[in-house]
Structure 1
């Protein structure tokens, strides 16, 4: 008993593989007795969890096992049948009022684990009590998977004492919590889980996300931010009584292969793209307007690459990322040449800078939706989203054309600063590159309109936001200073004759500046 108490109070190496929880001290009026937890080092093999002396006042309890970094299997029987067990890093099972209960944990590797027993009253909602598709009869756990673009969190509907699953009117609220940025240490992993174990803790530490009825109510989608840990929690409420599902964690990447999966860039084409973005950003930020023709070509190239990549992503799933990138770059080279040719042919400044204005408006609209607007229910509808998005782009574009020189300089500084920050994010961490990536995902990823965007905004993101503003401001100031006493735009080839020259101007001028008439 003394060993159990020591485990409850501190990190213990309980390699006897029998972990005991004594619920005799449970008091319904004392919230601190509703949860018991214990850290252990699980060894390879089968361990036992004993829950003893369960009072009659307990309606049911949820036994949870949270492991790091390897999966474990939790079962209510020693046979580990599929209908009695669940596998993962965040697992749990429901048990009703039995005086003594045994659970079994199987691990293939030695792993750190947090074992928790959360106690509920018989009138509290049962998490996952109306399970239809998961293996176990009751499913208080969540199944988390991820793709390159999305994190998918699946759960089952709760049940309650005096209602049926056919007429389920139990309120379900979803929450998530970001872990410490770019840190995969077990301390932050377990701290995040401990902050989301109970209803009160979830409401105190978690961020409530919007829910919708129907298919996506229990198959919640989140925008993936690679390498950023998230804890997902669900609270079920019925007649002012609440219970919590087993919290689940995802980093949107494979922790067993962190260097290639959680950090970036690792593939050659991404390294080339990041290098280009950094060089492009620095050049355009400080010299974009001064080297007007080069900037026209670069902006045309970027637009061509983006549009081509979107079209290829929408039209074909057979092409690899490298193939789509290579094709988009080739088309972008052609598009940049065509846009430069338009200036050479017509020489209309307001037409030539329209791509810079459009790209700046696109980035500003992306920032608006990235900042939280996309999570409003009205913008789950694609028509509402894209009409509003286009309206923002057009509004900024129209405003920019009123002061063509100033806003072109601002557009160059703004786009250049963002390109630099986005490139640096892949090496230093941070998530501002997802401002554009989320807009791209909305275009090409199925069901992304139903995903929660709610991006992380931690120390690195704050620092890089300040860097973005600082670079934009300094770039604008530097370029405007360089532009003093100069024409707003370079002369076109049709207007390269000297000022004041006309058809009657003498054709011969001596070196002293004296004009010799041909008369």
Structure 2
């Protein structure tokens, strides 16, 4: 009886996962600090093939061991041949059971072996994409592939292998585990990656460079990074083990969603929405309030860039930039109160409008063109701002209304984007990063654009047109710009003096008085 209990306990302490169908996901629960054996029962009788078994966890790291060799990650696999048919999964990082999804793919031996020329990492053939997140960018590195006919150090064969890097974005809305597993099925084979992903860069092996790159990444936005290696001589393709990232360090976010946007950013987004609604439909009519909002947005942006560059805490970043924005908004409204020079006060609306237009340009694959370096992008942005100011000088009223509607509409849809998991609010974030993060322009730009984003772009255009129509109709019979309070006070004072002078001149007692210098006796 005691022996039976011991056998039952041993059976419960270790579990097995068997992969019998190629391309079929098998979900397993890894108990903490308990090994789970992974077996492949392939049906392919061609013993010249090789296999890439792999396991993935959405938000946890775990260890995959082949013999005495181990690799720890949230997405990890290995190249194995028929002599190696089993591996071990170990949940040695977490104190709770974690779900993992395992699958395998097979390739003809003539196909490139992903990571077959590994010189740095643990496995002899390492098909994994190694990544780390620095708070703004995703750093990626993988090992070159090998082919049967060539040695790894044979430079003559390097030009025949090309490495295409793809980004496949996950939906932010909905059940994240379901989104993760559904997308994982499509990104384990070259055909699935090509149909679902967006190619962000193509790499060819050279003696002087490593297979490494830096990609833009955004908090709370899940993305699979996948690499396809193609032998151009034979046409065979193989896929590396895809790597998922949520724009954060998963070691610090192990509960709920891998990395959630903090609540005070949602609150700030709601405040900006109210301001956006106001300037979209009433900004030009209430000119002083428009200037305060423009000053607030400018100060908020500049403060955010400065504090981000200083690497202050997250709370300090949100609170400090908000205070700077309020102070700058009051200052700019006070400038209007005191000086009352319209063109001087319109500098900020023009700059903000030009800044947003320039940000739209930088939030596009155009920035991946080699001819556009960091300085050229900033010069293009400055030129757009100058052009916007010249336009507002010539057509002051109309252009100011357009800018109010354009900026206000973006403030509205950016907040909707934050709440519904779209990506349009990243337009400004991308420019802020380029201004505050050193060498950020060296990153390969990649960003999602979903159906929701397309709907929001249409809503943005509609709000801009409707806002312009409403403001232009209500203001068409009024002066181009209101008179500043200081000029009103001066005008009232001058009118009072004129009225007093006129009253004195028309007073009969004063008019009939003796002329100045008359002597009375």
TM-score class, shorter-chain normalisation, is 0.7 to 0.9
Label 1:502 to 1:373 Cα distance change in 2 as closer, same or farther (>3 A).
farther
CA contact (8 A) 1:56 1:97 kept: no
CA contact (8 A) 2:217 2:247 kept: yes
Corresponding position of 1:210 = 201
Corresponding position of 1:304 = 299
Corresponding position of 1:273 = 268
Corresponding position of 2:419 = 427
Corresponding position of 2:188 = 197
Corresponding position of 1:114 = 101
Corresponding position of 2:89 = 105
**Greater C-alpha Rg:** 2
Q: 1:60 aligns with which of 40, 50, 53?
A: 50
CA contact (8 A) 1:60 1:97 kept: yes
Root mean square deviation of aligned Cα: 3.4
In the TM superposition, 1:274-353 aligns within 5 A as 274-314=269-309, 316-317=310-311, 319-353=312-346
The offset of 1:245, in angstroms, is: 0.3
The offset of 1:439, in angstroms, is: 0.3
Q: Which runs of 5+ in 1 are unaligned?
A: 1-13, 23-32, 510-514
The offset of 1:372, in angstroms, is: 3.0
Q: Which runs of 5+ in 2 are unaligned?
A: 1-11, 512-521
Q: How far apart in 2 are the matches of 1:46 and 1:456?
A: 38
In the TM superposition, 1:217-296 aligns within 5 A as 218-238=211-231, 239=233, 240-253=235-248, 254=250, 256-258=254-256, 262-267=259-264, 270-296=265-291
Q: How far apart in 2 are the matches of 1:257 and 1:102?
A: 31
- Give deviations 1:345-384, integer Å, cap 9, x for gaps: 54332222121011011001111221332233333x2122
CA contact (8 A) 1:182 1:228 kept: no
* Structure 1 SS opposite 2:391: helix
Q: TM-score, normalised by structure 2?
A: 0.81
The offset of 1:285, in angstroms, is: 1.7
Label 1:477 to 1:157 Cα distance change in 2 as closer, same or farther (>3 A).
same
* Structure 1 SS opposite 2:271: helix
Label 1:341 to 1:20 Cα distance change in 2 as closer, same or farther (>3 A).
closer
Q: How far apart in 1 are the matches of 2:349 and 2:293?
A: 10
Q: TM-score, normalised by structure 1?
A: 0.81
Equivalent pairs, count: 478
- Give deviations 1:148-181, integer Å, cap 9, x for gaps: 4223333222222233434344211101111223
CA contact (8 A) 2:38 2:87 kept: yes
Q: How far apart in 2 are the matches of 1:20 and 1:232?
A: 26
In the TM superposition, 1:24-103 aligns within 5 A as 35-44=22-31, 45-51=34-40, 55=45, 57-77=47-67, 81=68, 84-98=69-83, 101-103=85-87
Q: How far apart in 2 are the matches of 1:430 and 1:229?
A: 12
Label 1:41 to 1:209 Cα distance change in 2 as closer, same or farther (>3 A).
same
Q: How far apart in 2 are the matches of 1:159 and 1:195?
A: 24
The offset of 1:55, in angstroms, is: 4.1
The offset of 1:93, in angstroms, is: 0.7
Q: How far apart in 2 are the matches of 1:50 and 1:293?
A: 71
* Structure 1 SS opposite 2:163: strand
Q: How far apart in 2 are the matches of 1:433 and 1:364?
A: 14
The offset of 1:445, in angstroms, is: 1.7
